[in-house]
Copies of this chain bind each other. A is one copy, B any other.
């Protein structure tokens, strides 16, 4: 916050002088800024250079370091504990459970985005934007769940109900093949196809999603993104580009260009590759002379995948993904801070002060209302919107932001909550075993125990010390839960995946 203060002071002191300096120009908000949302996959809080990763971990991330210098770095960016839930929250500005997506989507599974959902794609389309998603959707493959049904003009990527492991995310295949030797036949049988969709047209198979394609896929997505940017810039049409990379998701197969580039194996190689792709997007904006009128977000969907997810090398030998939650506890699928806090950068020259850091609680759900405010549009009033407008954080006008609480769901259960610096678990759901909860107990090893736990996440980031003396903090948390339950009474949730509908949700 200090640096932010410094910048505000600087701004007020230098006043008009600043307008002369590129990147500090205090311009009026542009009517329709382009928005590029780059989403990494299972990359932890501690993985990128500006958060203590990057070069310190054996893989320099110079372009991400550049983003930190040119924009705002969020140190309390909060998400949901898994890919599908976080992406549902990002796309809708609602807790994933409100769209029945609070568990990981699996091919053939029950979780899919409902036709009623109002998404970020639709928000931008309704505002007259060209819209595209290149990469991983993971919100369901039914016609009403596809990107084309939710405002995206263009979609190219992996199967919309699948993740990057493609066929490997099907347990039987996982158990009988390492990703290094899944027969192409199996991949294709299991629906391992690259797909595309034009507007709300049919989903078309483009080519088999082989491991060779898998290794180079972020190259392909970046190329298509830059082509899209050039096309829309030439047409003078504002655009929204959603770019959910494979970067970080096991198996971390680096592209030919980056294989062996880091000292620390495939995970490091893939971080360097992703950093390079982010740089390619930044370079394209500069080349197109639209960087001042483009908001760039680079963030992750959830914490690191932990040891349950292996990085397969060509020999099929399992090495652990080395994603780090930084000082926090746990990884993907757990309700702990290390699972739901990760990295986020936002750059918007002239509007977001460069080289600033904010510790405001900022949920992935908050992007939707924040963008709505920037566009001057409204979100639908016929549903509960859990995200809040955080433009004041972007503009450096608020240190603490508009959010002071967050609930964490796993399936139909509220398992944990944050209120200010307090973190409460409603029951102890065995914090060992990364991913076991999110994956419906696939890896479950420990039986849950039932009693509340409370931690002060600021003084005890690793959640080592329960604080019986602080159980009073439960009161405001239960108030938040009560408000959520009232909203559910008014706007009932759909059935939530493959768990029983605990407590009526």
Does chain B have a CB within 8 A of A151? no
Question: Interface residue tally of chain A, by bracket?
Answer: 35 or more
Which chain A residues (20-56) contact chain B, with CB distance < 8 Å?
46, 51-53, 55-56
Whether B265 and A459, one on each chain, are in contact in the complex, defined by CB atoms closer than 8 angstroms, is: yes
Whether A55 and B459, one on each chain, are in contact in the complex, defined by CB atoms closer than 8 angstroms, is: no
Scan A347-380; emit 1 where CB is below 8 A from any B CB, else 0.
0000000000101000000000000000000000
Whether B307 and A465, one on each chain, are in contact in the complex, defined by CB atoms closer than 8 angstroms, is: yes
Whether A320 and B459, one on each chain, are in contact in the complex, defined by CB atoms closer than 8 angstroms, is: yes
Residue of B nearest to A58 (CB): B458
Whether B263 and A359, one on each chain, are in contact in the complex, defined by CB atoms closer than 8 angstroms, is: yes
Contact of A52 among B263, B326, B357, B456 (CB under 8 A): B326
**Complex Cα spacing A317 to B46, Å:** 30
Residue of B nearest to A461 (CB): B322
- A89 shortest CB reach to chain B, Å: 23
Contact A464-B306, Cβ < 8 Å, known A46-B327, A51-B56, A264-B458:
yes
Contact A267-B459, Cβ < 8 Å, known A2-B62, A56-B357, A359-B58:
yes
Whether B459 and A319, one on each chain, are in contact in the complex, defined by CB atoms closer than 8 angstroms, is: yes
Does chain B have a CB within 8 A of A500? no
Does chain B have a CB within 8 A of A66? no
- CB neighbours (8 Å) of A318 from chain B are 465
Does chain B have a CB within 8 A of A60? yes
- CB neighbours (8 Å) of A53 from chain B are 52, 327
**Complex Cα spacing A60 to B57, Å:** 22
Contact of A465 among B51, B320, B327, B357 (CB under 8 A): B320
In the assembly, how many copies of this chain are there?
A: 2
**Complex Cα spacing A327 to B263, Å:** 16
- A306 shortest CB reach to chain B, Å: 7
Does chain B have a CB within 8 A of A462? yes
Residue of B nearest to A60 (CB): B2
Whether A458 and B55, one on each chain, are in contact in the complex, defined by CB atoms closer than 8 angstroms, is: no
Does chain B have a CB within 8 A of A469? yes
**Complex Cα spacing A30 to B464, Å:** 49
- CB neighbours (8 Å) of A464 from chain B are 306-307, 320
Does chain B have a CB within 8 A of A324? yes
- CB neighbours (8 Å) of A462 from chain B are 324
Does chain B have a CB within 8 A of A200? no
**Chain A residues at the B interface, C-beta cutoff of 8 Å:** 1-3, 46, 51-53, 55-58, 60, 62, 75, 263-265, 267, 306-307, 317-320, 322, 324, 326-327, 357, 359, 456, 458-462, 464-465, 469
27 A-B Cβ contacts within 8 A? A1-B55, A2-B55, A2-B60, A46-B46, A46-B326, A46-B327, A51-B52, A52-B327, A53-B327, A57-B327, A263-B458, A265-B458, A265-B459, A307-B460, A307-B465, A317-B469, A318-B465, A319-B456, A319-B459, A319-B460, A320-B460, A320-B464, A322-B459, A322-B460, A324-B327, A324-B461, A324-B462
